[in-house]
Every structure is written in C-alpha cells, then in structure tokens.
C-alpha cells in the first residue's frame, strides 16, 4: 500500500466526493489517502503526515501558478514523489514542474493512474540516490581540500614530509574515531584560532608599549626611535583589529572586540597629541583600559576556539581537586565539626558526579580511557561510602584511601586525554 496526500485546487470543495476516475485509479494503485491538502497547507501536511507520495488533482480552471508557488517551499527537492493529474499543460508549465521537482504529470485516467504513480516513485527514488551521490562527492572534495591544507600546515609547522603529515592526520582520525576531513578541519581551525588568540594577546603588549613610548618621548629619550616605534605599534594595532574583525566571532567575541576598538580609539586620540608629562596619567589610564579589554577579548577567543577535547582535559584534571576537596571537607566536618565544610560536601559530590557522567559520555575515548573511567566509577562509589560512614574509623580510612586512589586514576586519565588532544591537533 502506498500512503498518499491528495492536493486539491482552491476552487474544489475539500468535502466533495472525488471524481470516479480518481477513486478507481487510486484503488487500482493500492494507494491509501492519508488526507487532503490545499496549496496553502501542502508543505505543512507533508511534514505532519509524512506520505510516501503527493498526488495533485488539478483539473482547472484554477491557475497552475498557485501550485507552483506552493511547491517553491521545497526549493525543487520535495521530500517524496510528487505527481499531477488534470488538464493538459502548456510547454512552459512542463518546464516549471520539472524545476520544482515534480516527477510525473498526465491527464486524469483511471487505467493509467497506477503507472503514473509508479513512474513518479521510480523517478523520485533515482533522483534521491543521485542527490545523495552528489552530496557525498561534494563532501569528499571538500574534505580533500581540508586535508591538503592541514598537511601543508603540519609540514610547515613540524618540518616533515607530506607522507608523514598525512600519517599524523590519519592516525588522529583513527584514534578519535572521526573522519579524516573532520580532523583536518579541526587542525586548520585550531591554527586559525591560535593565531587570533596570539594577535589579541599582542594587543595587551602593545597597550603597554605605547604608554611607555609616550613617556619616553615626553622625557626626550631616544625620541627618533620612539617615534618610529610609536608609528609601527599603532599600525600593528590597527592591522590586528582588522584581522580580528574579519573572523566569524560569536556574540561574546563581537562584544569584546567592540570594547577593544572603543578603548583603542580613546588611546589613539591621546597619542596623537604632543607628548607631555602632564598627559601621561591620562594615556596610562587609557592604556590600562585597552589592556583590560584585550584580556577579555583573548579569553573570549580562547573560549570560542576551544575544542571539546581541550575542555575534557580540563574537566578530567579538575576531578583530582574535587576528590581531595571532598575528603578534606569530610574530615574537617568530622574532627572539627566545621559547618561550612559539611555544607560543601553535597555540592562537591554533585559536581564530581556530573563531571564523571560527562566524561563517560564524551566521544573522545580509547580502550585505556574507558577502562580508567570504569575504575574511577568504582573508586568513586567507595569514596561516597566512606563519606556516608564518616563516623567510623573504617569509613575515614576508606575516605583517605579512595581519595588518593582517585587522584592517581585521574592523573592517568588526564594524561591519556592530553595525549589524545595532542595527537588530534598534532
């Protein structure tokens, strides 16, 4: 049985009986009508009902342009086979239907309708396969470009040959269970973000250098060289801002860059005046403002460019602290009756459990990491048991042993994650 959505023109009552040839043809084709739609509801109804085919009954006199306008919602790629039965079409209407992704059309005839629907389905299936093949080809071509760029970057950065650079990328892809193109793109993007972070970091230095140069000029110390350096530094700030502006920053990065630009405009206005001792305090204040803004921009860029693997390393390393913090607070609460320490126990346990779950669900893994996480989970349960039995000597002994064991376990896990990150980013 073929599930089908029937589309009717606006001048036909949706509740009226269907023409007998249409009813007979649908019965012979073994088609089940899931519902009826108009041009205005066509796309929505297909999304809701998910039919295998759409059959448009368009006998006229409603203009076919109404149907064409409705089909525009799929941009020539309908999610299922679409066929039209009704009045004969003009030549340009045939072209329009082809461009809109309609697979078959013919005058309504009960005997030929099953063949029409079968032809539409066959054509749609073939077109879908060709689109998939084309998409795969485009993906491979795009990935090849990223691989070539990543190889060039590694060859330049590490002074290695093409085969060795490709081996690094392929090994990283196999280790992280990612496509070669994904790893290559990560390498390129990481390098781009690293450059952006480096440039933003240079703004911090330049903010201080320009203030120093102003003081140097005010004191008459090697004034000629100071003027050259001021010009070079000013140009460098602007070049850096232009470079960062061209990046696709997120909202936080855009806001941080805007604050840097504003701080720079204020400092640049003061630097244009003749250096004098009485103006150095104002220049220094503007330099500090630029420094602060550049610090915030660097943090924003680092957050934007960070890979999940880098975050995982940080999460994993923080677990060592939490294990020790939990044991420390538990012992303080037991021996000193410290209320603040006792109050921190439950939040720390929740943070540890949440982080452990995130590590267990993270895609970046290996046999050693998976085994280490199983060991960490077992040891964590023992530590929780030690906290719950805190009033007994055995509970306190378990607390100490498990906290130290967790530190050792997460030391190894952090090293494995870090190694994975280093391999992926080469």
Longest CA–CA separation in the chain, Å: 102
pLDDT of residue 424: 44
CB 197 within 8 A of CB 298: yes
pLDDT, position 423 = 42
DSSP-based three-state secondary structure for 363: coil
β-strands 31-37, 104-106: how paired?
unpaired
Q: For residue range 47-91, what is the model confidence (pLDDT) as tens digits?
A: 999 999 999 998 877 788 888 999 999 999 999 999 999 888 887
- For 223-254, the pLDDT digits (tens) are 888 789 899 989 989 999 999 998 878 888 89
For residue 136, pLDDT beyond 50: yes
List the one residue out of 217, 347, 348, 208 whose CA is nearest residue 276.
Answer: 217
Could you count the other beta carbons within 10 Å of the beta carbon of residue 200? 27
Strands (DSSP E) contained in 45-175 are 53-58, 81-86, 104-106
Could you tell me if 389 and 398 are in contact, meaning their C-beta atoms sit under 8 angstroms apart? Answer: yes
Q: Mean pLDDT, to the nearest integer, of 4-14?
A: 84
Q: Say what the pTM is.
A: 0.46
Among 112-126, 146-160, 302-316, the least confident range: 302-316
The encoded tokens of residue 335 equal: 């021996």
Instruction: Count other Cβ atoms within 10 Å, centred on residue 195.
Output: 14
Kindly tell me if the per-residue pLDDT of 146 is higher than 90: no
Residue-wise over 269-305: b if at least 16 C-beta within 10 A, else e? Answer: ebbeeebeeeebeebbebbebbbebbbbbbebbbebb
pLDDT exceeds cutoff 70 at 273: yes
Q: Considering Cα of 28, then 30, then 33, then 39, what sign does the dihedral take?
A: negative
Instruction: Take residue 179 and report the two structure tokens written for it.
Output: 């496509």
Question: What percent of the chain shows pLDDT beyond 70?
Answer: 91
In whole angstroms, what separates CA 293 from the centre of its chain? Answer: 26
Q: What is the rounded radius of gyration, in angstroms, for the C-alpha atoms of the chain?
A: 34
Residues 78 and 324: their CA atoms lie apart, in Å, by 59
Highest mean pLDDT range out of 129-143, 249-263, 401-415? 249-263
Rounded-to-integer distance, Cα 361 and Cα 324, Å: 24
pLDDT at 426 over 50: no
Q: Which residues of 154-169 are buried (b: 16+ CB within 10 A; e: fewer)?
A: beeeeebeeeebbebb
Q: For residue 105, what are the β-bridge partners? A: 84
Decide: helix, strand or coil at residue 85.
strand
Query: Is the pLDDT higher at 420 or at 75?
Result: 75
The pLDDT tens digits of the residues spanning 165-204 come to 888 888 888 877 888 888 888 778 776 766 777 778 788 7
Three-state DSSP class for residue 365? coil
Band of the pLDDT at 407, cuts 50, 70, 90?
Answer: confident
């Amino acid at each position: 049985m073929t599930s089908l959505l029937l589309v009717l023109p606006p001048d036909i009552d949706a509740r009226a009986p269907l023409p007998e040839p249409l009813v007979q043809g649908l019965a012979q084709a073994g088609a089940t009508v899931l519902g009826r739609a108009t041009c205005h509801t066509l796309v929505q109804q297909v999304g809701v009902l998910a039919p295998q085919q759409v059959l448009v009954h368009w006998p006229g006199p409603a203009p076919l342009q109404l149907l064409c306008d409705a089909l525009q919602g799929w941009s020539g790629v309908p999610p299922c086979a679409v066929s039209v039965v009704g009045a004969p079409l003009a030549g340009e209407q045939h072209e329009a239907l082809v461009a809109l992704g309609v697979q078959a059309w013919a005058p309504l005839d009960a005997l030929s309708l099953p063949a029409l629907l079968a032809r539409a389905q066959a054509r749609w299936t073939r077109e879908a396969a060709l689109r998939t093949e084309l998409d795969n080809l485009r993906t491979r071509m795009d990935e090849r470009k990223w691989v070539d760029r990543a190889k060039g970057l590694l060859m330049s950065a590490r002074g290695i040959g093409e085969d060795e650079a490709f081996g690094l990328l392929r090994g990283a892809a196999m280790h992280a269970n990612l496509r070669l193109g994904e790893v290559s793109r990560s390498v390129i993007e990481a390098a781009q973000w690293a450059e952006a972070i480096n440039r933003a970091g240079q703004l911090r230095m330049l903010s201080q250098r320009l203030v120093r140069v102003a003081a140097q000029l005010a004191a008459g110390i090697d004034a000629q060289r100071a003027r050259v350096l001021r010009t070079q530094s000013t140009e460098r700030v602007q070049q850096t801002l232009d470079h960062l502006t061209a990046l696709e920053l997120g909202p936080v990065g855009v806001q941080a860059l805007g604050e840097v630009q504003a701080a720079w405009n204020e400092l640049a206005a003061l630097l244009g005046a003749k250096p004098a001792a009485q103006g150095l305090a104002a220049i220094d204040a503007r330099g500090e403002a630029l420094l602060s803004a550049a610090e915030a921009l660097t943090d924003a860029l680092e957050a934007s460019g960070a890979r999940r693997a880098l975050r995982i390393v940080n999460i994993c390393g923080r677990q060592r602290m939490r294990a020790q913090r939990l044991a420390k607070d538990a012992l303080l609460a037991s021996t000193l009756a410290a209320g603040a320490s006792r109050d921190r126990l439950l939040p720390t346990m929740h943070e540890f459990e949440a982080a452990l779950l995130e590590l267990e669900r993270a895609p970046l893994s290996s046999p050693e990491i998976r085994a280490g996480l199983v060991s960490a989970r077992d040891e964590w349960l023992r530590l929780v048991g030690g906290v719950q039995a805190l009033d007994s000597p055995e509970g306190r002994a378990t607390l100490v042993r498990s906290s130290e064991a967790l530190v050792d376990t997460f030391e190894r896990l952090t090293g494995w994650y870090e190694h994975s990150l280093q391999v992926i980013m080469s």
